[in-house]
């Protein structure tokens, strides 16, 4: 249980184009999902918190108009990188808050990540 998927797993795009990344909780409902960014050999950096049915909450320094987040259902959140540039190249990881059977509290389960390369 508690499986989170991401699609695509990797994407290469030209500078100036937009890229959409999907995050799905496969076997549980997640009212809250999170988007992280990770550079090589570094830790995860939280970009935004995505809440189903409401606007995302962005961390300081993250441009909300550049990184569009939509949480349309309890199992799907999308991150769109608009007008991508080479400096946006990174590993983007989502997580979903949920609970497996037998657990008495929620925890965060992560997707496999999406490698974005902007040429």
Partner 1 sequence: GESVGLHLPTLSVQEGDNSIINCAYSNSASDYFIWYKQESGKGPQFIIDIRSNMDKRQGQRVTVLLNKTVKHLSLQIAATQPGDSAVYFCAENRYATGRRALTFGSGTRLQVQP
Binding site for partner 1 (CB under 8 A): 2, 4, 6, 32, 34, 41-46, 49, 59, 91, 93, 95, 97, 105, 107-113, 115
Least separation in angstroms between residue 94's CB and partner 1 is: 8
What b/e sequence results for 7-45 when a residue is b if at least 16 CB atoms lie within 10 Å of its CB, and e otherwise? eeeebebeeeeebebbbbbeebebebbbbbbeeeeeeee
Contact 20, 114 (CB under 8 A): no
d(CA 34, CA 36): 7
Least separation in angstroms between residue 25's CB and partner 1 is: 13
d(CA 23, CA 16): 23
Closer CB to partner 1, residue 12 or residue 15? 12
Closer CB to partner 1, residue 10 or residue 17? 10
Least separation in angstroms between residue 86's CB and partner 1 is: 20
Least separation in angstroms between residue 15's CB and partner 1 is: 24
Closer CB to partner 1, residue 6 or residue 78? 6
Contact 19, 116 (CB under 8 A): yes
Closer CB to partner 1, residue 16 or residue 27? 27
């Amino acid at each position: 249980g508690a499986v989170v998927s991401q699609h695509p797993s990797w994407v290469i795009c030209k500078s100036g184009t937009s890229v959409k990344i999907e995050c799905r909780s496969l076997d549980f409902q997640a009212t809250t999902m999170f988007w992280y960014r990770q550079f090589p050999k570094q830790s995860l950096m939280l970009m935004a918190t995505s809440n189903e049915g409401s606007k995302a909450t962005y961390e300081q320094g993250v441009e909300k108009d550049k990184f569009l987040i939509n949480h349309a259902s309890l199992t799907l959140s999308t991150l769109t990188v608009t007008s991508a540039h080479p400096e946006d190249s990174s590993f983007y990881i989502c997580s979903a808050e949920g609970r497996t059977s037998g657990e008495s509290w929620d925890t965060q389960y992560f997707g496999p990540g999406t490698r974005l390369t902007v040429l």
